[in-house]
Amino acid sequence: MDSLLHILPREKRGRIQRQVKPIELLDRLFWPVKITVFPSRCPLCGQLLEKPGDKIVCSQCLSQIEIHHGPVCEICGRFLYHQSGEKAICLKCYESPPVFSQHRSLGPYAGALKEIIILFKYRGYEVLSKTLSLTLYNNFQKGNLFSGIDFIVPIPLHRQKYKTRGFNQAELLTKNLSILSGRPWLKNILVKIKNTPAQVSLEAQEREKNLKGAFAIRKPEKIEGQTLLLVDDVFTTGSTINECARILRQNGAREVRALTIAQA
């Protein structure tokens, strides 16, 4: 909790601390009883969650998340593992620049990060959105990704998929990032109107074709002249983010950036 609060304004931080500290104190006092009567284990490694801070995934598994600190493409954010310079543009962006101006993600969709995303997205551990959002913000708040952002916008799900899953993972991340950054977020401005097949099994060109006409904008006056930050969970080819950025720009957005948890 302290790591989440330190980035908030002092007055707001103090108000939240006064409300939360008694609850945290009780949690710590009764933790030995709680883990004895209701033992809980990390779903990744099976280790007993013995510390009050270990809510869903143990601190050891969280520490194993691979965060990419090396060079990336300045535009699409693809990891450039064999690039020595800090500033570079990948061949794909050089030959065919995307509509979005900048994208960044934490690390590769592998290992602990992949397992945590699967828990969050498919296994009912929506509470992990807080941990993931905080990790995202702590890693990118000091760069220019959040600078000048007017609104944060989640990549939408089609209503049928939303009904099946029960939540939109991008929306949960967006809500938390809005609190952390102090930037407002827009709900149901960008909507998905076509229930497209899953992108995972499609090639890059098929993905782009699959997404044509899939998104629409409600109340375009809300985004006219605004700088927006799109949020999603996994970046693969960038087709989804690029199509959403295209629709947003066509409807008046000045600039569209993007942030995801991982790259596949």
pLDDT band at 201 (very low <50, low <70, confident <90, very high): low
3-class state of residue 15 by DSSP: helix
Rounded to whole angstroms, the Cα distance separating 7 from 182 reads 10
**pLDDT averaged over every residue in the chain:** 86
pLDDT band at 29 (very low <50, low <70, confident <90, very high): low
Ranges of H-type helices in 96-226: 111-122, 128-140, 159-165, 169-181, 204-211
Which tokens hold the place of 167? 């939540």
Q: Are 233 and 121 in contact (CB under 8 A)?
A: yes
Domains, the chain, ordered by start? 61-263 (3.40.50)
Rounded to whole angstroms, the Cα distance separating 116 from 128 reads 8
pLDDT at 239: 94
- Does this model's pTM top 0.85? no
Q: Are 5 and 16 in contact (CB under 8 A)?
A: yes
Determine the distance from the C-alpha atom of residue 3 to the mean position of all C-alpha atoms in its chain, rounded to a whole number.
18
Mean pLDDT on 98-120: 97
